[in-house]
Structure 1
Amino acid sequence: MTPRIYHNARCSKSRATLALLEERGLTCEVIHYLDTPPSAAELADLLGKLGMTPRELIRKGEAEYTELGLDDPSLDDTSLLQAMASHPRLIERPIVVANGKAAIGRPPEAVLAIL
């Protein structure tokens, strides 16, 4: 299976993770998720593979987090997934999917565990 990386070329961790995979001789399917964001359903699937909740995957330092009031503890997972699908900058990056599993490349070497 070809590894898939949800990539943001402006992010140093994302670039380093992609470089690490390529150094290992892997050709990846690169998804520029800011241009083609995953749907809420795709995000739910990724979360299952990551073993995380939407709150754990959301980037709290982004302006949209505050602007959309996503710190409200009463928001359910569906609302958070919709927000991330509509505002992909809120999605933690990079995410690598391989062998039915997923990992976040923070640090980049963390993705090696799923290869």
Structure 2
Amino acid sequence: MTTLYHNPRCSKSRQTLQVLKDANEEVTIVEYLKEVPTIDELKKILKMLDIPARKLVRTNEAVWKENYKGKDLTEEQLIEAMINNPKLIERPIAIKNGKAVIGRPPENVLNL
């Protein structure tokens, strides 16, 4: 069973879901824009991805450019920014057996 943090409006997210379906993988979909992860959940995801929060931020989003760009934010502040503005969370994120990958490219999910 794979959990997919998914945005159905994102082509990469849709492609990643299709890769999982094509591999006959059972998928639990979390539409993270509607079901925003908690701070603790996001910290767990970052730990599974083994990356700092900054690497999970979508810096081309308008909300980033308008509110955060150029600021020296701590890890906690970056996590709070993503929780308060879930559009900033890079997508899609697939999780399985305590490991996580970002589906960029979508085939990355096959590494789980």
Please name the residue that 1:9 is paired with: 8
CA distance in 2, matches of 1:102, 1:38: 15
Q: Structure 1 unaligned segments of length 5 or more: list them.
A: none
- Give yes or no for the alignment of 1:39 onto 2:38: yes
Instruction: Quote the residue 1:76 is aligned against.
Output: 74
Q: % of aligned pairs identical?
A: 43
User: What secondary structure, in the 3-state scheme, does the structure 2 residue paired with 1:26 have?
Assistant: coil
Is structure 2 residue 61 aligned with structure 1 residue 62? yes
* AA matched with 1:66: K
The one of 68, 91, 94 equivalent to 1:96 is 94
In structure 2, C-alpha distance between the alignment counterparts of 1:21 and 1:52, rounded to whole Å? 23
Give the Cα–Cα distance (whole angstroms) in 2 for the partners of residues 32 and 97 of structure 1: 14
Deviating beyond 2 angstroms after TM superposition, the runs of 4 or more aligned structure 1 residues are none
Offset of residue 40 of structure 1: 1.5
Contact 1:104 1:110 in 2 (8 A): yes
RMSD, aligned CA: 0.9
CA contact (8 A) 1:4 1:98 kept: yes
Question: TM-score of the superposition, structure 1-length normalised?
Answer: 0.94
Cα pair distance change 1:31/1:95, threshold 3 Å: same
Unaligned runs of 5+ in 2: none
Structure 2: how far apart are the matches of 1:103 and 1:46?
A: 9
Residue type at the aligned position of 2:85 = H
Relative to structure 1, the CA distance from residue 46 to residue 107 in structure 2 (aligned partners, 3 Å threshold; closer, same or farther) is same
Q: TM-score, normalised by structure 2?
A: 0.96
What is the rounded CA distance, in whole Å, between the counterparts of 1:15 and 1:109 in structure 2?
Answer: 12
